[in-house]
Chains A and B, each alone.
Chain A
Amino acid sequence: MHKLEFKGVTKTFTTRNRSIAVLDSFDLQIQRGEFVCLLGPSGCGKTTLLHLIAGLEKPTQGAVLVDGEPVQKISRERVMIFQDLALFPWLNVLGNVVFGLQMTGMSKPERRQIARRYLQLVHLAEFERTNLHELSGGMKQRVALARALAVNPDVLLMDEPFAALDAQTRDLLHAELQNIWKETGKTIVFVTHNVREAIVLGDRVVVLSARPGRIKRDVAIDLPRPRQIENYAVVDLARGILDLMREDIVTTEFEVAERVPQVGRDVL
């Protein structure tokens, strides 16, 4: 059985006077433990795919299946890391990471112990008392990762989490995310518009077309890990995929997006 499956999923958003089809008869299967990167231009419905898996939105037609069952509602089995992280500014680092465990009614010592383990995993052990606004962008990413991992979900959904980071920090987090994935064996669905990032991280890179999003190419990446963004093999593969994407109408976006962090959501 597939861990995640999209079966003929259509999603249209209706605004005041028109409806926009973001996805049209979309099919995709993702296996347990796979690291899949969804790659595509802004507005191609990448974020919507994550929201559908998370249960934040419902398909207009078709079905989204998890372990063969249709997604009914939001569940901590599938935790989303939002583009802007949505960390809670009224809590310190530890408070954010224990949040999910606190909601289950787990005892204080127990949840702290678990949270500390994940803070160690993301190298933030000595920052547990720090307020969020005192952290750098990369550190906030790590808090978000620890917060999501702490509730031990099956599936991690990541929505362009590294888009706003400087290059060095991003490289570091690429390495750490690969490690964490190897250690925890989570199924990860990672959305990005950065071709090389997708190749560095993914077992598979699913290239989407512009709206309505369709699969343009499903590329298996079997380069040895850990991969780095400047590896020749990565750059080579990236060139191929970029050529493929250039056929699309909204080509220039990628080149720009490589350099300029994108702001705003791409639901519509």
Chain B
Amino acid sequence: MFSKIRLANLVADARAHKIAFFVCLLALWQGLVQLGLWQEYIFPSPLGVARTLARGFQNGTLLIGIAVSLQRILIGFGISVVFGTVLGLLIGRIRLLQETIGALVLGLQALPSICWLPIALLWFGLSETAILFVVVMGALLSITLATEAGVRNTPPRYVHAARNLGARGWRIYLYVILPAALPAIISGLKLGWSFAWRSLMAAELLYVGLGLGQLLNMGRELNDMSQVVAVMLVIIAIGLTVDRFIFQPVESRVRERWGLG
């Protein structure tokens, strides 16, 4: 009883601290603007940013940007999840693949995925395919590596026990190896998501049109700092939302089932 109340208090305290901190930050921001040291286009006010955000949502530019970027990342990430887990399962189980493709994946992982953009542009031109390629190269490798690690850390006795109970072939993969590797796969997915999101923004910023990255770049070209900051806030918000409402619930369910603290 006591500890429960205490815990609730701690949580409430933490939230209060957080809110107070961000309110102070906003106040500090507004205060600096009030000092009038810099021009609005160099250092926008919180109110200016809020107005730009509202305008962007009203005239649809932000909504279109969000929709385009989200569509790209969902397709790219989806492809990466499917191929990454399958590839990871195979590499983790088959020694020959591990020695060959496994080594290749590990090597390629050292390359920041935006470095694939020149190749993508040469191969696919200024197209959706090019940007998907970059996103996939961002997410695929880390999902593959995490899945492989999860598979290889699966105790062989799970497979023995499953075979002993009558599991054979693909059922062992689907009902034993995949679920046994799930905690590792989920951290791979989280990592893959953040890599995909970063590569997408970088690629949009550099070349390919319509997404949030493009809006960000447009803000720079128009010398509209408030748009730059507004788009940055949207990008942060999307990243946090996905983590909070997709990855965290899945992860905490798995952790609860396994009893991992």
**Interface residues, chain A, with chain B CB atoms under 8 Å away:** 54, 56, 74-76, 78-80, 82, 84, 86, 88-92, 99-100, 102-104, 131-134, 147-148, 151
Contact = CB atoms under 8 A, between A and B. Distances in A.
Interface string B155-180: 10110111111111001000110011
A187 to B, nearest CB: 16
Q: Please give me the 10 A-B residue pairs with the lowest Cβ-Cβ distance, nearest first.
A: A133-B259, A100-B165, A86-B161, A90-B179, A103-B166, A86-B157, A76-B166, A103-B167, A74-B163, A89-B258
A75 B167 CA distance: 10
Interface residues on B, range: 20 to 34
Given A82-B157, A134-B259, 14 more contacts: A56-B160, A74-B160, A74-B164, A86-B157, A86-B160, A88-B179, A90-B258, A99-B175, A103-B168, A104-B166, A131-B256, A131-B259, A151-B165, A151-B166
Given A76-B166, A103-B166, A104-B166, A90 B161 contact: no
Contacts of B164: 54, 56, 74-76, 78-80
B4 interface: no
Nearest to A92: B257
A131 B257 CA distance: 6
Contacts, number: 69
B182 interface: yes
Interface string B189-209: 000000000000000000000
Nearest to A148: B165
Nearest to B159: A86
Contacts of B171: 103
Contacts of B168: 103
B255 to A, nearest CB: 10
B173 to A, nearest CB: 13
Interface string B243-261: 0000000000010111100
A14 B168 CA distance: 28
A70 to B, nearest CB: 18
A88 B258 CA distance: 9
10 contacts: A54-B164, A84-B157, A86-B160, A88-B161, A88-B176, A88-B179, A90-B254, A99-B167, A103-B168, A103-B171
A66 to B, nearest CB: 14
Interface string B230-244: 000000000000000
A221 B257 CA distance: 44
Contacts of B180: 88, 90
A90 to B, nearest CB: 4
Given A88-B179, A90-B179, A90-B180, A82 B258 contact: no
Nearest to B171: A103
B259 A99 contact: no
Contact of B161 (A82, A104, A131): A82
A80 B167 CA distance: 14
Nearest to B160: A56
Interface string B113-134: 0000000000000000000000
A90 B182 contact: yes
B259 A86 contact: no
Contacts of A133: 258-259
B150 to A, nearest CB: 12
Contact of A103 (B165, B179, B254): B165
A79 B165 CA distance: 7
B162 A99 contact: yes
B164 to A, nearest CB: 5
A56 B165 CA distance: 12
A138 B155 CA distance: 22
A84 B160 CA distance: 12
Most-contacted residue by chain B among A54, A90, A131 (CB, 10 A): A90
A79 B258 CA distance: 25
Given A99-B175, A103-B175, A90 B165 contact: no
B171 to A, nearest CB: 6
